[in-house]
Amino acid sequence: MIDDALIAFEGVTKTYPGAGRAAISGLDFRIPRGAILTLVGPSGCGKTTTMKMVNRLIEPSSGRISLDGKDVSKVDATALRRSIGYVIQQVGLFPHHTISQNVAAVPRLLGWDKRRTHDRVAELLDLVGVPMSDFGDRYPAQLSGGQAQRVGVARALAANPDVLLMDEPFGAIDPITRVELQGELLRLQREMHKTILFVTHDIDEAVKMGDRIAVFDSNATLAQYDTPDAVLARPASDFVRRFVGDGAALQRLKLRRISDVPLVDFADASADAPRIAGSSTLHQALDALLHSHADHVVVTAVDGGRPVGTLSFDRLRLALREAEGAEREVAR
């Protein structure tokens, strides 16, 4: 895993001139290729600063950041930025350019020919659900917030970068659309395998989106860098525990699917037990349990209604404990 790190921070700190304390210090971590790292923490914790050092919008005061083994400070900043996707909360589409022109921005900077650029833009706008035939000639002001950010993501992906930087990309979007966009980004990611740094102040979003989570302390240090499950199960400090807040166990149930845990034979299933598909999360199973009078749910096959086993409260609890055990195994 460590050998396949795409981005590595080594002893990185940033202190702004005239500032009393460092904006961020002691950054030492590696981001595996193809992983989503969520950077989460309260405002002023340095998470955005950390992200912006990757494409040199901010230069570190000390330490080294490497991308694919190359020290980013040795790469021309403009060329570096063109090779990294960049998405911000305020979207920042160019208001005087059409949607198509916005998405074509980086390919044009890179000198792609017209045909290739056009095809790529059409492909991406389709991919993010803002088809070129309907939206290509419109201007950003004519889009909803959700549509604008879809275009923002398309623009970031245009030149097919390996790395995406996303600074609270869904932070200004209404809750329903946000959930939709989170789901779509995860769906895209299953095909794209980009390495993504995703800044958020929302721990739920960090858990949902991240393969790894970097929790930043309010004193501008990295408090914990781990898998979402490990951060929830074993917070590294009181700060992380408080930041994760109540309901860590419930959160962890969202990370696991019913089909991932051993089930009990359904021969003894009671008639009034709720039925739930094996593709659901343990969180959904618990929800179904709480709504019913039964002490277990009947799990049905993912590809049809056939019952394959049952899942009880005790099993749920056990599943969390086993997950923790498995994590420890991996850590060793």
Pair of tokens at residue 323: 């997950």
121 near another protein (CB under 8 A): no
Q: How far is the CB of 232 from another protein (least distance, A)?
A: 32
105 near another protein (CB under 8 A): yes
Per this entry, what is the length of the chain? 332
Q: How far is the CB of 247 from another protein (least distance, A)?
A: 34
Of 92 and 307, which CB lies nearer to another protein in the complex structure?
A: 92
112 near another protein (CB under 8 A): no
Applying CB under 8 A, which of residues 55, 100, 200, 224 lies at the interface with another protein? 55
Pair of tokens at residue 47: 């998470």
Instruction: Decide: 163 and 6 in contact? Cβ < 8 Å.
Output: yes
156 near another protein (CB under 8 A): yes
Instruction: Decide: 207 and 182 in contact? Cβ < 8 Å.
Output: no
Applying CB under 8 A, which of residues 136, 140, 210, 278 lies at the interface with another protein? 140
Classify 193 in phi/psi space as left (phi over 0), alpha (psi -120 to 50) or beta. Answer: left
109 near another protein (CB under 8 A): yes
Residues 13-42 contacting another protein, CB under 8 A: none
Instruction: Decide: 221 and 13 in contact? Cβ < 8 Å.
Output: no
Q: How far is the CB of 17 from another protein (least distance, A)?
A: 18
Q: What residues have CB less than 8 Å from 18, skipping those under 6 apart? A: none
Q: What is the rounded distance in angstroms from the CA atom of residue 107 to the CA atom of residue 271?
A: 60
Residues 40, 227, 280, 130, Cα dihedral to 10°: 50
Q: Is 73 exposed, middle or buried (0-12, 13-18, 19+ CB in 10 A)?
A: middle
94 near another protein (CB under 8 A): yes
Residues 158-197 contacting another protein, CB under 8 A: 165
Of 135 and 239, which CB lies nearer to another protein in the complex structure?
A: 135
Residues 303-332 contacting another protein, CB under 8 A: none
81 near another protein (CB under 8 A): yes
Q: Which residues lie near another protein (CB under 8 A)?
A: 55, 57, 78-83, 85-86, 88, 90-97, 105-106, 109, 139-142, 152, 155-156, 165
